[in-house]
Amino acid sequence: MTQFQSRRDMFHLPSGITYLDGNSLGPMPKDAVDQARQTMADEWGEMLIMGWNKADWMNLPGRLGDRIGRLIGAPSGSTVVGDTLSIKVYQAVASALELRPGRKVVLSDNGNFPTDLYMAKGLLDSLDQGYELKVVDPEAVSDAIDASVAVVMLTQVDYRTGRLHDMQAITRKAHDAGALMIWDLAHSAGALPVDLEGCEADFAVGCTYKYLNGGPGAPAFIYVRPDLADQVRPALSGWLGHEAPFAFDLDYRPGEGVSRMRVGTPPVIQMAVLDAALDAFDGVDMSDIRAASIALSEQFIREVEAGCSDVELASPRDPEARGSQVSFRFGEGYAAMQALIARGVIGDFRAPDIMRFGFCPLYNTADDVSQAAAALCEIIATGEWDQPQFKTRKAVT
């Protein structure tokens, strides 16, 4: 029995599989199947278009936003769910920039996930007003914040190494320089305690298919600091962010607070699945998840380093400086990961040489960790990875 045994039972974990990739796609919560069936059969099937009112589909984005808000230190009414994370990044940057007229720099780091940088750059190019996307090393971010910076946009946990930014300190630095702060919580929400309100972040975004287990393509979330939300122009001014969508006015008027960050029609079935997935977090304290995640990660590092000397820890050694993943570098990391997957131990690979393992205490156990570490060490010691079938790159790594 582990601390979270009753939670582990809530997930469908295929037999013979050790799953350490919940940082990319969380496993399926068992209740999600019934929830999807119920939403389809009882709501869509029976209620037809009346479901928008009768089953309250229209309020799913806000209701789910509040459920996620509890996990990221966001007060009720400050978070909404919808669209993909790339879209929410675009919206956050566009809205933030307008609040700092005259400033021309969006500052980010080269540990950020590329889509965040692509979306920001695409927006700045469209605006064509001399904006600059400045990308520095993660360690150099704090010193690069000056009076030219309109917006600092960072992902708290580096998707490759797991390195953790100090949200409190960087947010304060941004504010002291008069800049706004956007945090991407893609690898934080559901993985570690986040205190958006406490650190006074201006915007936060994140996805729900990683540690929140909302399923492939599950919609993203966006948070806007409550005292800013009514000043923000949502940039993507869709009809469901309008003050009165069913007035069908020809002119756009933003809705109240964060509701204006909604864009179009919500994906109701996927949201129903996410709703069921969030049940796994009910009554759970994120600091307990964090403590258990550190224990699993520390165990993994200890066992891998004791069993093989050919890999190099790519993650910070200090658990407080790391998210909920551990990465090792190995020259033939892609092939080694394929060999591991062939044995039923699932992590993933990020170019050029990073093998990545995510730890989710809601369903991962110390046994999972031991099995994964032993398999990895054996594959490397015996050269089991050195076979042609493990070396052909698939489209999704």
Active site residue 252: no
Closest contact distance (angstroms) between CB of 142 and ligand PLP is 19
> Tokens 């949200």 sit at which residue?
167
Closest contact distance (angstroms) between CB of 187 and ligand PLP is 6
Q: What is the C-alpha to C-alpha distance for residues 362 and 209, in angstroms, rounded to an integer?
A: 15
The secondary structure of 270-304 as a DSSP string is HHHHHHHHHGGGTT--HHHHHHHHHHHHHHHHHHH
Residue tagged active-site, from 21, 109, 184, 202: 184
Closest contact distance (angstroms) between CB of 296 and ligand PLP is 20
| Terminal-to-terminal C-alpha distance of the chain | 33
| 295-302 long-range contacts, CB within 8 A, separation 24+ | 295/366, 296/359, 296/361, 296/364, 296/366, 296/368, 296/369, 297/322, 297/324, 297/325, 297/326, 297/359, 299/366, 299/369, 299/370, 299/373, 300/326, 300/357, 300/359, 300/369, 300/372, 300/373, 301/326
Residue tagged active-site, from 31, 203, 356, 390: 356
Closest contact distance (angstroms) between CB of 267 and ligand PLP is 13
Residue tagged active-site, from 209, 330, 334, 349: 209
Q: What is the C-alpha to C-alpha distance for residues 335 and 307, in angstroms, rounded to an integer?
A: 19
Task: Decide whether 335 or 354 has the Cβ nearer to ligand PLP.
Answer: 354
Active site residue 300: no
Task: Decide whether 112 or 365 has the Cβ nearer to ligand PLP.
Answer: 112
Residue 50 CB: number of other CB atoms within 10 A? 11
Task: Decide whether 74 or 204 has the Cβ nearer to ligand PLP.
Answer: 204
Residue 280 CB: number of other CB atoms within 10 A? 24
Residue tagged active-site, from 67, 210, 290, 350: 210
Task: Decide whether 31 or 184 has the Cβ nearer to ligand PLP.
Answer: 184
Active site residue 329: no
Q: Which residues bind ligand PLP (CB under 6 A)?
A: 84-86, 113, 115-116, 155, 159, 184, 186-187, 207, 220
Residue tagged active-site, from 19, 113, 131, 334: 113
Active site residue 210: yes
Active site residue 103: no
Task: Decide whether 32 or 85 has the Cβ nearer to ligand PLP.
Answer: 85
Closest contact distance (angstroms) between CB of 207 and ligand PLP is 5
**Catalytic residue numbers?**
113, 184, 209-210, 356
